[in-house]
A and B are shown apart, each in its own frame.
Chain A
Amino acid sequence: MNLQRTQWLPTVVGMVILGAMEVCIPSAGETLNATQVEVKDFMFMPTPLTVKAGSTVTWTNKDDEPHTVVSDTGEFKSGGMDTNESFSHKFDKPGTYHFTCSIHPRMVGTIVVQ
């Protein structure tokens, strides 16, 4: 019985991951026009987000806990964003921009500017 259960679990996990990938792949191609990052459940979504140079990206906090958006290079920094508060930054130059939440540094995200 136990053996059967251990065989089952990886199969179920594998199916869940596959399912998530199927959803993510088509949306990645559409992100050039999307400039919104949702901050929810202690995650930045989507990440990485790909935008065109000159785009303004807006992060909105959907958690009961405040979050911040702080660039690793110091190029942009929000204050504490309470629930439903937003922060925006305009990306003029192509490149890869990593950021974190300074309150919860485990939260990391990336904007790719083309």
Chain B
Amino acid sequence: MSDDQSLLTRRNALKCMAYGGAGTLFALSGGVFTPIDLAMAASDKRGVAKLGKPLFIQISDTHIGFNKEANPDVAGTLTQTIDIVNGMYEQPALIIHTGDITHLSKPAEFDLAQQLFTRLRTTEMHTVPGEHDTTDATVTEYFNRFGKASDNKGYYSFDHAGVHFIGLINVLQFKPGGLGTLGAEQLAWVAADLKGRSASTPIVVFAHMPLWTIYEPWGWGTGDADQLMSQLRRFGSVSVLNGHIHQIVQKVEGNMTFHTARSTSYPQPVAGVGSGPGPLKVPADQLAAMLGITSVSVVKHPSALALNDTALA
């Protein structure tokens, strides 16, 4: 089997996958994610260590301030999540939070979240806001704390280990009855940001609401995401990471892998079950298995991977 074929097989294997356990470690090999159950990763430290330094951990939907029956202690489950990350065989370079840091955009909720985040051994955190982070009258609580990276715009990019990261905001400019929106200004910025960039650069795009339509009646999608995808399609490896729906849903389309993360706070029903996307009450002993994190690691320096593949073929 040629290496190209083995990549395709791995891609196919990712389609429609569902996961159990506390979290999923993703190895980015040749630009393609390979998922590894985090519980398994923890028990097989040597095997996982061969995958290289973990690039980043995705945390999502911490909803600090939520205190209902579905999880009366969201600070506790975030702390447990942080303990899992801190206990990893090697610390990831970055933490990416895909939004809904707080439940009601209250200053005390943001303060507690930031206080809890300081326990992470990895100190570099990149965030995008969720719609729960922007409900304050002036939409300033999030930006006062996390707006610096994006000059208070909510969208920005950076590079790390040869991977180009793009953080986007799709929770403002809601159209009544509609899905999330990126907007013309942000889409134009993405076009400028990607211009002249080599198609072999691995791209990681992260935003709160799914950048693909998972379930329109519940607003689980972004209305103008197609205009973003058309700009990303020329790249050989694109990973799209979202939160919002508090469960893992994944698909692979060409060179793009789409992944939504579990929440660290409370689960939500699968699409269309019940009256709406509210907190899902589950027995206490089942809660932990429905919360979690996503971790991504780079096997080798991405710029070297193409050469490596050629040598193996």
Q: Which residues of A come within 8 Å of B, CB atoms? A: 41-43, 63-66, 68, 72, 77, 79-80, 82-83, 98-100, 102-106, 108
- Given contacts A42-B277, A66-B132, A82-B103, list 15 more A-B pairs with CB under 8 A: A42-B275, A42-B276, A63-B278, A64-B68, A66-B104, A79-B104, A79-B135, A79-B137, A80-B104, A80-B105, A80-B132, A104-B219, A105-B177, A105-B178, A106-B218
Alpha-carbon distance between A64 and B66 when the two chains are bound, in angstroms: 9
- Is B309 positioned at the interface, with any CB of A under 8 Å from its CB? no
Q: Which 8 A-B pairs have the closest CB atoms?
A: A42-B276, A80-B135, A41-B275, A100-B176, A65-B278, A80-B104, A105-B174, A64-B68
Asked if A64 and B177 make an inter-chain contact with CB atoms under 8 angstroms apart, the answer reads: no
Asked if B104 and A104 make an inter-chain contact with CB atoms under 8 angstroms apart, the answer reads: no
- 0/1 string, B101-141, CB within 8 A of A gives 1: 00111000000000000000000000000011011110000
Alpha-carbon distance between A99 and B176 when the two chains are bound, in angstroms: 8
Contacts of B131 in A (CB 8 A): 102-103
- Is B70 positioned at the interface, with any CB of A under 8 Å from its CB? yes
Q: Which residues of B come within 8 Å of A, CB atoms? A: 68-70, 103-105, 131-132, 134-137, 174-179, 217-219, 275-279
Contacts of A80 in B (CB 8 A): 103-105, 132, 135-136
Q: Nearest Cβ distance between residue A63 and chain B, in whole angstroms?
A: 6
Contacts of B279 in A (CB 8 A): 64-65
Alpha-carbon distance between A99 and B275 when the two chains are bound, in angstroms: 20
Knowing A64-B68, A68-B135, A79-B136, say if A108 contacts B103 (CB, 8 Å).
no
Asked if A82 and B104 make an inter-chain contact with CB atoms under 8 angstroms apart, the answer reads: yes
Contacts of B174 in A (CB 8 A): 100, 102, 105
A-B contact pairs, 5 of them (CB 8 A): A64-B68, A66-B135, A106-B218, A106-B219, A108-B177
Asked if A64 and B69 make an inter-chain contact with CB atoms under 8 angstroms apart, the answer reads: yes
Contacts of A103 in B (CB 8 A): 131-132, 135
Knowing A105-B179, A106-B177, say if A65 contacts B277 (CB, 8 Å).
yes
Alpha-carbon distance between A66 and B104 when the two chains are bound, in angstroms: 7
Asked if B278 and A42 make an inter-chain contact with CB atoms under 8 angstroms apart, the answer reads: yes
**Per a CB cutoff under 8 Å, which of A68, A104, A105 touches B175?**
A105
Alpha-carbon distance between A106 and B275 when the two chains are bound, in angstroms: 12
Q: Nearest Cβ distance between residue B71 and chain A, in whole angstroms?
A: 11
Alpha-carbon distance between A72 and B174 when the two chains are bound, in angstroms: 10
Contacts of B136 in A (CB 8 A): 79-80
